[in-house]
Amino acid sequence: MREGYRRGYEGMGALRLRFEEFGSKHEKRTRLSEELWRAAIHSDVCILLLIAVISVLLRTLINGQYGFHRDELLTYTNARHLDWGYVSYPPITLFLARVELEIFGTSLRGFRFFGAVAQSLMMLFAGLSARELGGTPSAQVVTAIASGIGGVTLVHGSFYSYTSFDQLSWILVAYFVTRLLKSEDPRWWLAVGASIGLGMMARYSIAFFTL
């Protein structure tokens, strides 16, 4: 019987050690997660993402103050009759407009949502470009905000137009070329080519930028 008690105590001791080891590992994982979360919150990339999200929210809130622009009415009409190309612009702007119509209906804020997102993404990648060029976090923030409050970008973020996506493609090409030159990794050519392709599907003027 004593032998049975001894084995029982040994088993309970081993089980207790396992629980303590599990608790220690869990505590270490919790601390690591907390440290990673704090680092992410205070990182410059997270700040730029926050600026972009705030930009989308603000633009969406104020984009319902005015009626449809005459160019938007043409876009609205063409979006209801999709085709592979139009006299005024390539098809991606109309395709995204059709997606907005299917999701938001004829809501003015909804119709201008993707334009606001495009301009906010432009702000994000402008800040990231400053980061790649050695800019401090303050310089990145200033670059992102300055690129979003210019007269042209304010206008193109307040109504739906192919120029919103055209500007985004330009900054994407510039950013990926910067990454290509810094890293000398030829795989960045894929991102450059995809950005040029996106630009060509939004507006043909991207050809002048690539030249």
For the stretch 80-129, pLDDT in tens is 888 887 877 888 888 999 999 999 888 888 889 999 999 999 999 999 99
Model-level pTM? 0.76
**Residues 16 and 70 reside in one and the same domain:** no
The whole-number pLDDT of residue 159 equals 84
Task: Specify whether 152 is located in the same domain as 114.
Answer: yes
Residue 144, SS3?
Answer: helix
Q: Do 65 and 139 sit in the same domain of this protein? A: yes
- Tally of structural domains, the chain: 2
Yes or no: say if 140 and 48 are a contact pair by the CB < 8 Å rule: yes
Identify the domain containing residue 12 by its residue range.
1-42
Indicate whether 101 and 144 sit together in one domain.
Answer: yes
Residue 32 reports pLDDT greater than 70: no
25 alpha carbon, distance to own chain's centre: 35
| Same structural domain, 97 and 138 | yes
Half-sphere exposure of residue 72, counting CA atoms within 13 Å on the CB side? 24
Same domain flag for 108 and 5: no
